[in-house]
Amino acid sequence: MGFLGFGGFFMPTEAGQAILDVFACVRIISLRARTDRRVEVRRQLARLGLEIDGKKIAFHDACRPADAGNFPSIGARGCFTSHLEILAEAQASGVANVLILEDDLDFTSLVEQRLPLALESLVRLPWSIFYGGFEGDESALADRPLSTASPDFTIQTTHFVAFARDAIELAVPYLSQMALRPRGDPAGGPMHVDGAYNWLRRAYPALRTQLAMPMLGHQRPSRTDIHTLGLVDRTLGLRELASVARRIKRRFATHAY
């Protein structure tokens, strides 16, 4: 587990050091108002002996647009925009790669053992996009600790994804144009960002996508910022009960990996 060294300095674990060695920068998408999620994601990184220093590892303040525009929802537009902003920043700064995390990421219980092996394999393989966690048809994937996904393999969720330089250079103009088109445009219009990345991979099949197998992280059950809130999350009292239920669910989910 991650720990604090003498004098309060964070000391990376083997998994934490692997992240620092492989990725040029780490950006965590988070709304300033979601202090609950910021506390939780700090705890997750602390497990690996990592801290959010505002430099190599930093929050990216997610935007909350005034309206959805042509996107499915305000949250979907904000998430899409945040990913695009991080990729554009990486493109402008010339970094070799960028790891994008979302603030509802929970590392699995075996991340300390699995993550160094996955990243050791990653640096030996040609890769353009890397998913440390995802939703998809795992029965189609066999290799460990990484599996190469075909361009037509549908990947859902973007809570733990990295882009190498070649993918960054293609993704920025591709997503920028997608955001400007009408919704439902046959060339690819505004959509959830995980769907946009699937379109990108199909448009550029030379991009090599590597998936961690087994996964290294999953999405923490929490109140959504992307979809319309249900009655429970809109109602005082019920919202607090839902938060407790999610923590219980999370505890069981974490121990299942």
pLDDT tens digits for range 174-211: 999 999 999 999 999 999 999 999 999 999 999 999 99
CATH code: domain of residue 183 = 3.90.550
| Structure-token pair, residue 127 | 């890769």
Q: Identify the domain containing residue 98 by its residue range.
A: 3-255
214-229 pLDDT per residue, tens: 999 999 986 555 445 4
Dump pLDDT digits (tens) for 55-65. 999 999 998 99
Kindly provide the residue ranges of all beta strands, DSSP E only, lying in 31-75, ordered along the sequence: 57-61
> What gap in Å lies between CA 147 and CA 10, rounded to an integer?
32
**pLDDT of 151 above 80:** yes
pLDDT of residue 228: 56
User: How far, in Å, CA of 110 to CA of 217, rounded?
Assistant: 10
**52-61, 142-151, 161-170, 229-238: least confidently modelled range:** 229-238
Share of the chain above pLDDT 90, in %: 77
β-bridge partners, 26 = 57, 99
Count of domains for the chain: 1
- Report pLDDT for 63: 86
Q: What is the mean pLDDT of the chain?
A: 88
What is the reported pTM?
Answer: 0.85
